[in-house]
Amino acid sequence: NAQGEYYLTDVVAMAVERGLPVQACIAADEAEVAGVNDRAQLARLERHYQHRLAEHWMRQGVSFADPGRVDFRGDVRFGRDVFVDVNVVFSGRVVVGDGVRIASNCVIEDSRIGDHTEILPNCVIDAAEIGGQARIGPFARVRPETVLGSGVHVGNFVEIKKSVVDDGSKINHLSYIGDAEIGARVNVGAGTITCNYDGANKYQTAIEDDVFVGSDTQLVAPVRIGRGATIGAGTTVTRDVGAEKLVVSRVSQREIDGWTRPRKRPPDSS
């Protein structure tokens, strides 16, 4: 044609003229041989393909809130009794265990999700392994080379990178965990930061089992927190902490008598 393209139907005649063998191939779905001439037609075929994948998994026991609003962009494998809400994107190689619930607006790439784990809305999980019965989100980001044990909680506005978190530990609020090894049954308070980068190199933080980390704490790596230690809220940890120790580094509180709050100047009436 004028675009220099060959019509598929013309290919048959061309093959016959050249003495090539011609055999019939029955398409199971007319969409498999549909022509695509613009982006609108391409988008319609993509939706058809996505819906067909969703139907396949629904027959295997997976539930989708709306099979028209899920995207498969790789090799995805589901266990039984999985529920997937709207606007979830699966990319790369993803394995989802039995009984997993994935809420809306999540992106999961090259990751493994353990049985009966719950992913709350607006989470991004990339190249990570999450154990069974964990709870992730909402608004959590789990970055590459992260391994979370069973029963781990990663809450809202938490980012974890290249870290191992053992069974039953909780990082529930507003924290950054990078290049860390966290033991079992650790509680990481809101606003905790592992200070892993000095501007040139990355360093590791190690937190042993049963540690309690208070809110608004900075752990300046490299540093190790011993088993069962308690870090008081507002503490900056710069040296290793022994087992069962309490560490507090905050400034002492003072009350200043006779102080008055500055008053605003009256507006200029001129």
Residues designated as active site:
173
Give the residue from 120, 121, 159 showing the smallest Cα distance to 142: 159
Could you identify the residue written with the tokens 């090799």?
75
Structure tokens at 181: 């090894």
**Spatial separation of the C-alpha atoms in residues 134 and 131, rounded to whole Å:** 6
Rounded to whole angstroms, the Cα distance separating 76 from 158 reads 26
Please check whether residue 101 is in contact with residue 119, taking contact to mean a CB–CB distance below 8 angstroms. yes
The total number of residues written for the chain in this structure: 270
